[in-house]
Structure 1
């Protein structure tokens, strides 16, 4: 939802406001990065590949508690370099098509591993 008296989202992949009614379970998903199941980094140097892997991990986390990507109401993206914004946005748009969540995106100096470029955490209602 985007109130009339607040600026419109720069990209249509997030909402300024998300109202949740009839809460059953509130799910907090820790920051997900581009690690595969074996702990290998997917897409070294490739922000799109890393974003896709991080979002696939996020999707697996929400599905493990009976939800879907559509249950996510808030995401926070952490980027090592804002120059990767467009690449991250392209991938994010593939995942958050219907009722996009509230979103925050910030640049940080470092992630848990020097080859990682993006991390995403989420809050969901299932």
Structure 2
């Protein structure tokens, strides 16, 4: 079984344009791997500006688009990692995150990390691993 890479609309175009050496989503060995995706609208390629609630929702929409592009779905996500610039965002991020994973018995494992900064002006990035 080989490794496949997938394109996620304008998000992948932006990665290519900035010569960032990664794929937004890959799959292999029955798993789907979603790179850390920032709040960039995957349909327009524009950075989504707004508070942490707006940014979190866009990141999760990107994760959803990525897993679906690879033939998976949000309910098959096994693990997520959230990178945020401020741990004070924890509760707000959780409020949006719970909307995308409403079943308390099927929520993926998760790690929450604080980071210094990115080369763009955003406050959060989310990555995921799912069953194919």
**Same fold by TM (over 0.5)?**
yes
Aligned residues: 101
Q: Which 4+ residue blocks in structure 1 deviate beyond 3 angstroms?
A: none
Instruction: Give yes or no for the alignment of 1:103 onto 2:105.
Output: no
RMSD, aligned CA = 1.2
Q: Structure 1: state its 5+ residue gaps.
A: 1-23
The 5 A counterparts of 1:1-126 are 25-36=30-41, 37-44=43-50, 46-98=51-103, 99-113=106-120, 115-126=121-132
1: CA distance, partners of 2:102 / 2:119: 29
TM (normalized to structure 2)? 0.72
Give 1:42 shift. Answer: 1.2
Q: Which has the higher strand share?
A: 2
- Compare relative contact order (CA 8 Å, sep 6+) and give the higher one, 1 or 2: 1
Shift in Å, 1:125: 0.6
